[in-house]
Chain A
Amino acid sequence: MNLAEGVQIVSFGLLAAMMLGAALGVVLLSNVVYSAFLLAGAFISAAGLYLLLNADFVAMAQVLVYVGAVNVLIIFAIMLVNKREDFTPIPQAWIRKTATAVVCAGLFALLSTMVLATPWAISTEATVPSGSIVVIGKHFFTDFLLPFELASVLLLMALIGAIVLARREFLPDLEEADLQQTMLTLPERPRELTPAGSNPGSQSK
């Protein structure tokens, strides 16, 4: 990336602050819908950081897969699990919160000292001029061919497994019309009753 050094520093600072702030919002906010949208902000900021690291293809893949697929999936899951429930407070919850915060801060201090103390073998070669996508494609079809195919098989397995897990079970003791009604409605949100004059078997809308 041929930006000036100051521009790189400023954009890195902005993107890092946005990403960490959005991540803190994901973890700390009480409304889970806000968390889901802030998660999209964290993913987009990460894609900007990838652009700073000369990785255009992976940045686009990040936006497509994470923001376009994973985040939409999470928002759909929040919509399906739409029960407004207040969690029963557990006793001594603050012990767990404090202990986790202390452990996380300690882990961060440990990682930071490790990062700052290690003499990294920084390479001084210039990056590939034509962008990284050609090199990534060569890797995929030569020395990473087997993991590439295995990833496709794993995605197929995840597809079928998600369908099998999330499918509604067949209820054999219900009648046909009743069964259709239970399949079309979510059990956690009861629909209002149909008015008396209408056909009870028809499911309008």
Chain B
Amino acid sequence: MQLQYFLIVAAALFCIGIYGLINSRNAVRVLMSVELMLNAVNLNFMAFSDFLDPLDVKGQVFTVFVIAIAAAEAAIGLAIVLAIYRNRDTVDMEQFNLLKW
């Protein structure tokens, strides 16, 4: 069992998250892609914490913080999606151009 396996899996998950973040047209799916990217970062933290710092597990502490921030981010993001949906009557990301140029 090696550190590199976990890091490569986390990199693949992060790239999948970026692809979904850019190409999704449903706003809820964009939030799901953000959660996937946060999970990739968490997996990196946990791998480093177990392989490089097994006695003083600071990576796990950081992961707990990231999980807390991700929960807050999901709540706020879904509230924003609901507010936009109520105003514009769509969840299409291509039509959310209020702040575009």
Contact = CB atoms under 8 A, between A and B. Distances in A.
Contacts of A61: 64, 67
A14 interface: no
Interface residues of B, number: 74
B60 A55 contact: yes
Contacts of A135: 55-57
Contacts of B17: 23, 27
A181 interface: no
B43 A46 contact: yes
Contacts, number: 234
A5 interface: yes
A150 B12 CA distance: 32
Contacts of A77: 28, 31, 78, 81-82
B94 A115 contact: no
A173 interface: no
A62 B42 CA distance: 10
B15 A151 contact: no
A165 B94 contact: no
Contact of B60 (A58, A96, A163): A58
Contacts of A159: 75
Contacts of B47: 53
Contact of A123 (B13, B52, B67, B83): B52
A73 B72 CA distance: 11
Nearest to A5: B1
Given A100-B23, A136-B64, A8 B1 contact: yes
A35 B18 CA distance: 16
Interface string B23-38: 1111111011101100
A74 B31 contact: yes
Nearest to A77: B78
Contacts of B68: 65, 151, 154-155
Contact of B22 (A36, A57, A100, A188): A100
Interface of B: 1, 3-9, 11-20, 22-29, 31-33, 35-36, 39, 42-43, 46-47, 49-58, 60-61, 63-65, 67-76, 78-83, 85-86, 89-92, 94
22 contacts: A19-B13, A23-B16, A27-B16, A27-B23, A27-B36, A36-B28, A65-B68, A66-B35, A74-B74, A81-B82, A83-B89, A87-B25, A87-B92, A105-B15, A107-B14, A115-B11, A120-B51, A123-B54, A126-B54, A159-B75, A165-B82, A168-B86
